[in-house]
Each structure stands twice: as C-alpha cells, then as structure tokens.
Structure 1
C-alpha cells in the first residue's frame, strides 16, 4: 500500500471515532400523544395552531392535514436518493428494476451479468466476462492499490451516509413528535365538533323553517361527513406515526451496520492490507522457489533420462557389435547346408550316371537283337532271290 493511501486511512480514523461517539436521542413512546387539556402551555399553543389549519368546510385542508410535517423529511430523503442507482439499494432496487423493466418490455434476467449464458448466446458466440483473464496479467501492486482505493471510496461514502442518517434520524424524530401534535390537534378538533359544532348544527336543523330544513340537513350531513373524513385522517396519522416509530430503530440499525463497516474497512486498510502485501511477497518468493525447484527437478530428470538412454543404447550397440565380431567368415549352418547340397548333388550325379549306364546296356542289347533280326531277314531275302526253293522262302517271314 502506498504512503498516500496509508495516510488517508489514518486520517479517517479520527472521523470513525467521532462517528462512533455520536449518540442519538430516543423517541417517545407510542402513548405519548398529549391531549389539549393535559398539554403544557407551550404544547397547547402548538396544538391550537395546528387546529387552526383545519377548515372543516374545505375538504382539501382535511386531506392535507399533517402533510406539512413531512415536507422537510421528504427533502432529506430525496437528497439521499439523488444519484443512487437501483444496484445500490439491494433487493429493493431489484424489485424496482423488475417493475421498470417489465413496463418497458425488457427481461430482468437479460440485464444480469452474473447469469448463465443461454445456449443461443453460446451458439452465436457472445463473449463471456474477461475479468479473470485480464486479472491474471495485472500487476499485483496495482491490484492492491485499486482495492485500497475502492475501500477508501466505500469508507467515505459510508461516513457520508452515516451523517445523512443522523440528519434523517433527527428529522424523522421531529416528524414523529410533530405527528403527535397533529394527532392531538385532530382529536381536539373532533371533540370540539362532537361537543359543539355538530349539536349546534342539529339545533339549527330543528329550529329552521320547513322550507330551509332540507338545506340545513344537507349542511349537517356535510359537517358529519367532514368530521368522519377528519377522523379517518387522524387515524391515518396515527398509523403513520407508528410506522415512523418503527423506522427510527431501522435507521439506527443501518447506522450501526455502517459504523461497523467503516471500522472494519479502516482496520482492513491499516492492518490487513499490509499483511496482504507481506503474505503476497512471501507467496511470490515461494512461487519463485517452487519454479526454481521445478527447473532443477526437470534438469535432474533430463540427466537421469540421458544416462539411462545412453546406457541402454550402449548395451544394445555393444551387443550388436560383439555379435558381429564373434561371427566367423561363414556360418556353420551355411557350410553345413552347402556340404549337404554338395553331397546330394554328387549322389544325384552318380545315380543319374548309373541309370544312364543301365539304359545304354539295355539299348545295346536291343541294338544287337535288332541287328540279328535284320541280318536274318536280309539273308532270307537273298536266298529267295537266288531261287534256292520254297524251303528257303518258307523260312522267311511274309512281308507286310
């Protein structure tokens, strides 16, 4: 936290103490409405002056009876609501906003930035809030300064609200006491009408000539109607006073909450924010140490992986090399196969030679036989040609 912010936070401590020391007067009880007869002289004069505001023949004076007491209170309330948006008044603001948006044809849910996006919005790619994304890349000190600035703004607003609530409480209490005077004046006026004006008007009706009785009777009915209107107005003032009395502890409760919040904010600015900075500084150091440890671990893991991989590669390469070195020029299996093939070739050659020799011997026998048959045939043919007789001819086989 910067020195300027720390100085502002310390300056507000005195204001917080002054606010906490302020005491508000207690309101009188609901049964404290004085009567005209039992009131003190100064109160009796106040009551009579308010009775003079009533013109029993003027309906407007009856309807507006007591409304002047609320004028100053209304001005204070309006000044407090000046510039306030719906979001600043919580659920009440949500209700008011719901009414306005309903009248204007909008959907309240569409205006809520915290709601879940619909499938259609996801389909058309409507962007989600990017606050978390941007917060990742903001400087921590800048975020702390913004938080402290926001807390200071809230503190100043709450201090202003507390003072405004003090004034609102005082004016509400004055309005509460003023209502008591108006109620007393109204009841005194009702008693005066019941005891004097109405009986006198009734006597006038009885004493009036026959041609004026209808008019006098109407005046009596109007007087009684005005009397009933005044009685209802006094009853409304009593209800208003009761509600006003209920609002006084509400104002005090809001003030107490605001005072507690101001005290908490001031404590946060003076004590908690420096603790944040200390803890965040430790977190930065811890994170950097963690990152360094991670880098060392990755380096060690890489070294172990290289050692393991090199040892494995060396083993496999040595196995291949030594295997090739220890091999002969020719593999025994290849020599054995070649020898077997050679022996088989020789045996096959000898077998073929024997078979050829046998076939040649058989062919010689056939040739000898054929030669002998041919010689005999030629000899027989020669003898026949020479005419040596049938004997020789019969010895020769007939030609085909």
Structure 2
C-alpha cells in the first residue's frame, strides 16, 4: 500500500467517527388528531384544511402534493450523484484483496515439491520462481486495490451524509403527511356533519324549478367529498410506505457505516500486516532455499565419500586377487596335462587301430588275389585250341 493511501485512510478516522456517532430519530408512534391537537399543531392542521376548496377539483387532486416537493428534490439530487455508481465495488474490493492473499497455495511454497505433469507440459515455472512472481504481482495488486478502497471509503462517507439528510427530510415528509391526513379527515367530517346535510335541506327547500340544479350541486358535493376521501386514503398509503422507507434508509446507512469501518480497518491495520507477513514469507522461503542448497552440497559430499570408500574396497579386492594369482592357475595346468595325456593316448590308440586295419586288409588282399588267380586258371583250362589261339 502506498504512503498516500495510508495517510488518507488515517486522516479519514475522525470523519468516520463523526458520521458513525450520529443517532437518527425514530418516527412518532401515532398520527396527530385534530380533535386532540393543541396550540401550533392545531394551527398547522387548520392551514392545511384551508387548502381544500371542495368546489375546486384541482385543490383535491393536489392536496398534500406540496409536502413531497422538498423530499423529491433531495432524492433527485442523490440519484443524480449515484446513478452510475454500483454499490457492489466496495464489498467486491474486499473480496478481491482476500482472494489475492488466499491465492498463495501452501504447496507452492514447498521447493521440494515435484512439478505436476501439467506444469511440465505447459512449462510452468518452478515453485519458488512462481512464488516470487506471485509476490511481485500481489504487491502491485494491493497498491491498486487499496487505492480503490480508499476511494470507496470517501464515497461512502458522502453517501452516509446524504442519507442523513434524506432520512431527516423523509421523516419531515412523514410528519407532514400526518398533518395533511388529519386535515383531510377533519374536512371530511365537516362535510359529512355540516355541508352535506345543509345541501340536502337546500334541495328539499328549493322551488320545483330549482330542485334539479340543487340536486346536481348535492351530487357534485358528494362526488367531491368521495374524491377527497380517496385522496386522504392515498395519503395514508403513502405515509405507510414512507414509514417503511425510514428503517430501510437506516439499514442502508448502518450497512454503509459498518462497511466503511471495515474498509478503514483493512487499510490502516490489515493491509500493512499482510504486507509484513508476505515480506517475511519471501525471506523465510529464500532462507529455506539456501538451507536446501547447503543440505544438497553436504549430501553430495557424503555420497562421494561413501561411494569412494566402496569403490576403493572393490578395486583393492580385485587387484590383490590378481596379484596373488600365479602365472598359470594349477587348475589350468592340471586340465592341460589331462588333455595332453588323453591326446597321446588317443594317438596311440588310433595308430594301433590303423595297424590292425592294415594287417586285416593285407590278409584280405592276399585272399582276393588268390581267388582271382584261381578263377583265371580255371577259365584258361576250359578254352578250345582255336579260342586260345584267338586270345593269343
């Protein structure tokens, strides 16, 4: 909140106290009656009775209208001043500022919170970066909203004063209507008690040629009397509605007083407290971020020490195992020796088997050769001399 707004809110305190301390008077419990009225009140009623000319319809139609002129001027002045003014913005500004402050999510302040898939998809800022951006935006919003609240405060002060004047004039109109109603009722009583009976007697006493005119005058009198009665009834209805408007004006004024007190308290007390708390929140968050960075550095150091120790143990075991090994493993020598012996044995066995097969083949060859010789010898013995000569 700017210093100018703060100074304006504090300067308005005295004016707020003065307008909120005004006590509005209550309307009188009962309407005056001419028969019971005395002194100035009776004189005022008689003045209004004198405004009625039973033979003038216009005086009946406009009876009591003068009482509303001053009230109408005040109402029109107020409407001309507030016709473009929405009553809601003052309360809306309060809701805006609360919504702005409540817009901070506690989870957003947690720098360890992992971003959701939607935040990663849309490229939203990291929690702390978003927090700082929100704080900068909130500060400008608070300056704007508090300036608006200060404007609403001054307008409400003006409205309350206008409502005081409107209430006074409405109450005066209410009392004035009561005087006109009392005057109208007294005039009706006079017509019913004196003028109508006198006119009826005049009709009866009039010559036959004048009775028609006299009867018409009697009907006109009764019609005017009925018009006056309806006018008085309308004035009673108007007074009743006016009486209902008095607590309505008071209720609106009380609401405005409560709202202006709340606005001033928000400007003078609440907003500075919010700004202080926000500043503390930023400092605390930055401290938490620094502590997190230190913790991560310490965790990294510890992780490196642990990993290096494990790697050293594993590497040492591998190296010492290789150092303690011979050039050839005894298992490898034993296997190679067994394979060599088996190879020599296989060679000897194969050689013996080859010799045996060759000896058998030699014997078989000799037998086949002997058989061939025998067969050839038998073939020569069975030939004729001519065949032998031919073969030769």
Map 1:80-229 to 2 at 5 A.
Answer: 80-82=78-80, 83-85=82-84, 87-88=86-87, 136=134, 138=136, 141-207=139-205, 217=215, 219-229=217-227
* 1:311-330, Cα deviation, whole Å (9 max, x unpaired): 45445555555555555555
Match of 1:46 among 40, 44, 47: 44
Cα deviation, residue 299, structure 1: 2.4
Cα deviation, residue 55, structure 1: 4.3
Distance 1:88 1:266 in 2: 17
Distance 2:216 2:300 in 1: 111
Give the aligned CA root-mean-square deviation in angstroms.
Answer: 3.8
SS at match of 1:138: helix
Distance 1:289 1:135 in 2: 17
Distance 1:372 1:278 in 2: 131
- The answer to which of 311-320 and 162-171 deviates more is 311-320
- 8 A Cα contact 2:61 2:231, kept in partner: yes
Distance 1:245 1:385 in 2: 172
- Cross-structure match for 1:368: 366
SS at match of 1:136: helix
Distance 1:13 1:300 in 2: 55
- The answer to which of 309-318 and 16-25 deviates more is 309-318
Unaligned runs of at least 5 residues, structure 1: 91-131, 388-400
CA gap 1:273/1:360 in 2 versus in 1, 3 angstroms: closer
After TM superposition, the score normalised by the length of structure 2 is: 0.71
SS at match of 1:351: helix
Distance 1:158 1:287 in 2: 40
Distance 1:134 1:67 in 2: 65
Unaligned runs of at least 5 residues, structure 2: 90-129, 386-392
1:10 paired to 2:10: yes
After TM superposition, the score normalised by the length of structure 1 is: 0.70
Distance 1:60 1:324 in 2: 131
Q: What is the aligned residue count?
A: 344
CA gap 1:220/1:285 in 2 versus in 1, 3 angstroms: same
- Cross-structure match for 2:97: none
Cα deviation, residue 376, structure 1: 4.8
Map 1:264-343 to 2 at 5 A.
Answer: 264-315=262-313, 317-318=315-316, 338-343=336-341
Distance 1:316 1:364 in 2: 69
* 1:279-338, Cα deviation, whole Å (9 max, x unpaired): 334333322222222222232233334334444544555555555555555566655555
- The answer to which of 225-234 and 182-191 deviates more is 225-234
- Cross-structure match for 2:33: 34
- 8 A Cα contact 2:132 2:282, kept in partner: no
Distance 1:85 1:146 in 2: 21
Cα deviation, residue 272, structure 1: 3.8
* 1:21-59, Cα deviation, whole Å (9 max, x unpaired): 434333221x23231x43334333432332344344555
Cα deviation, residue 178, structure 1: 0.5
